[in-house]
């Protein structure tokens, strides 16, 4: 029996390279080994983007197409929209009742986001409860594992604690323990050296044109100690080099040599990087362009995913209600 895994993304805008190497590539590799359920979590998007709610609907379709263009296969994987399966909110309500407020207030990711993100209003009741809805997403499908990045570990731990508390309170073993599957690729930084994020406007998007990629690559921070071209560089301290390691590993030794021996300047090094990024993105962009022509087919795929997801979700909710109320 294959294990079930659940993962999700918020449809808040264009996908970028950080999504590709931090999540999608991992998901694609997991499709054959696990029963995969991947959600486009629009309720989560609304929590932070309630003022731009109209864009969420459009972003959902874009996200489904981006996933499929990268290699998510709806014949192997359940791909659905969270709000199309109302059981997520039903379980969220029940889990909210048993989750102590202190667990949410102490959550380090919550505190960090309140501090760092100033472009959106996160001072809401719903945003504090974000991890409870996340727990509901996972537990609804009794996922045994969740592919996530390291920064999401505190949320998963909270989901595990909520599951344990539920099992303990209602003397059941309904919810299984859920393990993280950490993405093997190191976290990709944005062009300004901070975490790559739409909120920081430092991302290279999967849909960026050649010109946009070239410009963004040229704006990347490099080794601060390499002032002139004749200065030998320190590639391990340069964000550009970290991109080579991920997107053009065959070139990383050459880059190391030309940088440390001052054989090439940073402008040329970044130009070569942008060509390598384009090489990686071109097939994705071509597949995406063919999917755009068949948008109705994408909605059909999401509807098929909804039916499959809801069948599992309904059964779990019935079991939960049996345990809680009877
Ligand atoms: Fe970075 Fe390349 Fe410049 Fe070296 S040559 S500092 S790796 S951009």
> Residue 265 CA: which ligand 1 atom is closest?
5
CA nearest to 198, candidates 75, 8, 74, 59: 59
What whole-number distance in Å separates Cα of residue 321 and Cα of residue 326? 7
Q: Is the CB of 269 under 6 A from ligand 1?
A: yes
CA angle 258, 262, 267 (to 5 degrees): 80
Of the pLDDT bands very low, low, confident and very high (cuts 50, 70, 90), residue 25 is very high
How far, in Å, CA of 271 to CA of 220, rounded?
A: 11
The predicted-structure confidence for 94-143, as pLDDT tens digits, reads as follows 999 999 999 999 888 888 888 877 777 888 998 999 999 999 999 999 99
Q: Which CATH architecture has domain 4-188+294-325?
A: 3-Layer(aba) Sandwich (3.40)
Sheet holding 179-182, edge to edge: 78-81, 35-40, 4-9, 145-148, 179-182
Q: Is the CB of 248 under 6 A from ligand 1?
A: no
| Residue 199: band (very low, low, confident or very high) from pLDDT cuts 50, 70, 90 | confident
Please give the angle made by the CA atoms of 128, 132 and 133, to the nearest 5 degrees: 100
Distance 195 CA to ligand 1 centre (A): 19
- Sign of the C-alpha dihedral, residues 290, 14, 88, 43? negative
Average pLDDT over residues 77-86: 98
DSSP notation for 251-301: GHHHHHHHHHTT-S-HHHHHHHHHHHHHHHHHHHHHHHHHHHTTHHHHHHH
Options 1.20.120.160, 1.10.287.3610, 1.20.140.10, 1.10.240.10; which CATH number does 210-288 get?
1.10.240.10
Whether pLDDT at 207 is above 70? yes
What mean pLDDT comes out for the span 261-273?
Answer: 97
Sign, Cα dihedral of 313, 318, 323, 325: positive
Q: Using a pLDDT cut of 90, give the percent of the chain over it.
A: 80
For the chain, the domains span 4-188+294-325, 210-288
4-188+294-325 and 210-288: same fold?
Answer: no
Substitution candidate for ligand 1 out of 259, 270, 276 with most atoms within 8 A of CB: 259
* 18 Cβ closer than 6 Å to some ligand 1 atom: no
């Amino acid at each position: 029996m294959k294990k079930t895994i659940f993962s999700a993304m918020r449809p808040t805008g264009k996908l970028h390279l950080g999504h590709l190497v931090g999540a999608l590539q991992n998901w694609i590799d997991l499709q054959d080994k696990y029963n995969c359920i991947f959600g486009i979590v629009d309720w989560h998007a609304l929590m932070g983007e309630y003022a731009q709610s109209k864009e969420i609907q459009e972003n959902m379709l874009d996200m489904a197409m981006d996933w499929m263009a990268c290699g998510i296969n709806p014949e192997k994987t359940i791909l659905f929209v969270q709000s199309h399966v109302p059981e997520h909110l039903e379980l969220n309500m029940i889990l909210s009742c048993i989750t102590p407020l202190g667990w949410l207030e102490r959550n380090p990711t919550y505190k960090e986001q309140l501090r760092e993100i100033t472009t959106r209003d996160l001072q809401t009741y719903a945003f504090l409860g974000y991890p409870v809805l996340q727990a509901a997403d996972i537990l609804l499908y009794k996922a045994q594992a969740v592919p996530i990045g390291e920064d999401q570990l505190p949320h998963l731990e909270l989901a595990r604690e909520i599951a344990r508390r539920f099992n303990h309170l209602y003397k059941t073993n309904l919810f299984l323990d859920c393990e993280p599957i950490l993405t093997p690729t190191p976290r990709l930084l944005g062009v300004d050296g901070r975490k790559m994020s739409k909120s920081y406007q430092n991302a290279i998007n999967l849909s960026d044109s050649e010109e946009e990629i070239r410009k963004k690559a040229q704006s990347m921070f490099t080794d601060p100690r390499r002032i002139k071209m004749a200065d030998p560089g320190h590639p391990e301290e340069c964000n550009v080099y970290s991109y080579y390691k991920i997107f053009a590993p065959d070139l990383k030794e050459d880059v190391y040599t030309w940088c440390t021996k001052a054989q090439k300047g940073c402008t040329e090094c970044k130009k070569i990087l942008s060509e390598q990024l384009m090489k990686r993105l071109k097939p994705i962009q071509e597949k995406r362009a063919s999917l755009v022509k068949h948008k109705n087919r994408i909605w059909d795929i999401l509807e098929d995913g909804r039916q499959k997801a809801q069948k599992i979700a309904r059964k779990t909710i019935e079991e939960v209600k049996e345990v809680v109320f009877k």
